[in-house]
Structure 1
């Protein structure tokens, strides 16, 4: 496969996962300040399947599209105001979460245990960014910020981390075996 073909496949994968994040973001369970969404599941899938580089690029593309006004954020919302509003920290936290999730698996291997650990690390990164941002932007106490932006998401986050690990590894293996994804995803730089 030529470098141009590899680059094209990477760009298509990145765009596809940006779209998947936008689609899963519409699965929401409303809560008072921060809803439970399918976004974090999609972030875990992107990082598990695409790795640190392309998974992070998919998240960045998703955030750019949403910030530009395409309604891909939760509840079909969009705009830069979402990035600077009370839930903006969760969105921004997706960037380091995707990178660290993919990076961990690239260094440790693509096993279910490593994928689960990596996705749980990613979940905690997202929650940490989101909680800190929520505290500052909504002028909450740390206790209130943790009660609204961290605690309600731990159990469902672990479930989504397990699901992203299992589904992500199955899809990754099948994409590699069908030669639609390189086994070393960062070889396409």
Structure 2
């Protein structure tokens, strides 16, 4: 006989109300990421925005599944034409343009950070900051790879344009996201 709170393997399953709560939070993080896109400092082809704080927090606070779903929702809203990308941009052209890799990296980063927090979460801020930093590195790996292809840049050129100007800001974003995720749980 299977208990209502466990699946056939004996693992705890989510209740319908828990799933609804997670959907609401995933929607909230998709919306916060869109709002973060409007808080921008132009620094060349890749603007400095607050999106990454919300991406990293989504993974840390919602876990791998719901964190990545929130970023998939965000990305699909932008592709569908809602002005949720940096500077109010939208459409598939943004994904295919120089910043598209960073946006796709949001999905992967939320998943990776969520996985790390689900499996290794601690109350120690420095360790959680390393998990969040890993997520930030995932975003840059996707972004730089895409930038090299789309803009026909060498690795050094892509790093010079798409990473170096953002290192200080990225570290601040990591610190903020790690602090909030360590302090508050959803």
TM-score with structure 2 length normalisation?
A: 0.88
Match of 1:145 in 2: 158
Going by fraction, where is helix more abundant, 1 or 2? 1
Q: Any stretches of 5+ residues in structure 2 without a counterpart?
A: 6-13
Conserved? CA contact 1:86–1:133, under 8 Å: yes
Q: CA deviation at 1:106?
A: 1.4
Root mean square deviation of aligned Cα:
1.5
Task: Name the CA shift for 1:55/1:110 in 2 (closer, same or farther; >3 Å).
Answer: farther
Return the match for 1:128 from 138, 141, 158: 141
Match of 2:169 in 1: 156
Match of 1:66 in 2: 78
Number of residues paired by the alignment?
A: 173
Match of 2:40 in 1: 28
Question: What are the superposed Cα offsets for residues 48-88 of structure 1, whole Å, 9 maximum, x if unpaired?
Answer: 21111111110010001111001011111111111111110
Q: Any stretches of 5+ residues in structure 1 without a counterpart?
A: 173-180, 182-189
Conserved? CA contact 2:43–2:165, under 8 Å: no
**Could you list the runs of 4 or more consecutive aligned residues of structure 1 that deviate by over 6 angstroms after TM superposition?**
none
TM-score with structure 1 length normalisation?
A: 0.87
Match of 1:75 in 2: 87
Provide the rounded CA distance (Å) in 2 between the counterparts of 1:72 and 1:57.
16
